[in-house]
Structure 1
């Protein structure tokens, strides 16, 4: 079992013992998503793949928040924000805007990217370094801005 998956399982047990139902519910959602992938693909997730899954869960919740807020459903948006907070506990420390900009500049230099045609090459170089540590949608927008400017 990966170290991250073990930590999540241990946190689930701690939440059960302490009676923290809200946290327990989110941790169970995480473990259910992990189990789904493991069963579907007949594999055991390593930490890298688990981080990718957690990152995807955060992205889904961010999308839901914007939809709930535009529909005036603030209580549902608040629940999604709470879930993001719990999920992000298992993701690495988020990078600052400056750190992301430095990595983008490094990627531009390393790949020789000069136009929008090189976007895939740039994202391929950046994704392993940023996975779970930055909003890839925002990173993509920053890259487009640099390539256009």
Structure 2
């Protein structure tokens, strides 16, 4: 079952269950997907949908950080719940060790020797971990693995 089919199915179920937060998140995601389809002028691929889900999750993560910093636990709790819902549609996330292994393999494939070549390494890694790892974590690991 594709992500879009799951979203449609879960939308109907959330309406029946009167799960307001889940309903709100799914509608927001579907609207973002529809906007992207309109912009692109065609149907989105599964990868494109996962990219949108990742973007939505990143926005929530950033908001959560700001809410916690401001001491707004009420908003932070709602954001955590939204993040949980979004995460359920994304593929299983890679562990830090798995990411580190992919980074090492990619560095040797690309032949990077210094941090100046970080862009080249990131360009090769991102397609491999798209939707399965947080870009910030990948960037941190690449930075650690490349010699100065």
TM range (shorter): over 0.9
Contact 2:104–2:145 (CA under 8 A) maintained in structure 1: no
What TM-score, normalized by structure 1, do the two folds share?
0.93
Q: What residue in structure 2 maps to residue 104 of structure 1?
A: 103
C-alpha distance in 2 between matches for 1:129 and 1:84: 23
Q: Separation in 1 of the partners of 2:12 and 2:108? A: 47
Number of residue equivalences: 148
Q: Distance in 1 between matches of 2:6 and 2:124?
A: 29
Residue number in structure 2 paired with 1:39: 38
Q: Which runs of 5+ in 2 are unaligned?
A: none
Q: For the residues of structure 1 that align with 2:42 and 2:78, how far apart are their CA atoms?
A: 31
The equivalent of 2:143 in structure 1 is 144
1:148, distance to aligned residue in structure 2 (A): 3.8
* Distance in 2 (alpha carbons) for counterparts of 1:132 and 1:74: 28
CA RMSD of aligned residues (A): 1.4
1:2-54 per-position Cα deviation (integer Å, ceiling 9, x unaligned): 92111111111111122222211111111011111112222211100111111
| 2:113–2:147 contact (8 Å) kept in structure 1 | no
Q: After TM superposition, which residue ranges in structure 1, 4 or more long, deviate above 4 angstroms? A: none
1:103 and 1:70 map into 2 onto residues whose CA distance is: 33
> Aligned with 1:64: secondary structure?
helix
